[in-house]
Structure 1
Amino acid sequence: MKGTWLGFGLLAILLAGCAGSSTPVPDRQQAQTAAAESPVVGPRWRLILIGTDERWVGSEPAWFEVIPNGGALRLTGSDGCNRLNGQVSFDDGNRIHIENLASTRMACPNLANAQRVGMLFENAYRYLIDGDRLVFFGRDSRVLGGFQRTTPR
């Protein structure tokens, strides 16, 4: 009898440890829906500034779009010479993660600027939108670049 009570006691402790927390955990579908509703998703964004005051100068515009792709978000665009593709995710506090950024490798007349655009995307950590302007910030809160919306959302 004593062993039975001990068994029930251990079972109760195990079940209590497996009980869910009282804090609701958002499911993956809700998180993906919230990310797809970010104001960054949808419009085309054209690079107008590198850093805080260096205007983009290139024979072709540098731009990007974030588009839903199945259950994920995909970045497509151009660094002013090469096509860009990557994966994007958003977190709370206007955090942006651009991962697996890949580009074509064309010979460019201004390769240094194209490489700077790639670094801008790779180092983007947070964003801020004000009207039709989008600014990317690095981990150190330094302004990496500014974009202008060129297509309506």
Structure 2
Amino acid sequence: MVHRRHSDSDDRTGFDDTTNYLSAAVSRFVPRWLARRAIAVEVSTDRTAYDPGDPVEITVRFTNRLPLPVEVVTPTRRPWGWAIDDVLEGTDERRYVREEPAAVSFRAGETKTATVTWNGHFRRENADGLDRSEVAGSGEHTVSAFLSVADRRAHHEDTAQIRVR
């Protein structure tokens, strides 16, 4: 189970995204390759050690390092994502994401923040197609967050380590 918190917004990306038409117009003059490289990603958790099954609050920050507004085009409607040990959102369930481009706009120097909560369980699909919940085993686990871009070489990602006791 994943819980998303957004600040007074119903935006499914987790960003409070208000339209700034001047920024949108200026950002179209920044080359896409530069816009992609201008965004820094930072991921953090509320603690570093957890008991099995404890919820993990994950905070992701995307920062435009340029003094100009930029627009980052994503290949699908999923502009960003997070994973635990390379398992997207802690589940191997198939996700439907429209295969059409989207864009995330950043004002000059803007930081967008999203917070999600992972429940400490991996959701796995059995051979018979039924789902089962599996508590994360003890040891080190890697939490990662990324900005979705088509060019894997320009894939922006950050990781944090957590330990389950």
Give the TM-score range, shorter chain: under 0.3
Give the TM-score normalised by the residue count of structure 1: 0.27
Indicate the structure with greater helix content: 1
Higher-strand-fraction structure = 2
Find the structure with the greater CA-based Rg. Answer: 1
Q: TM-score, normalised by structure 2?
A: 0.26
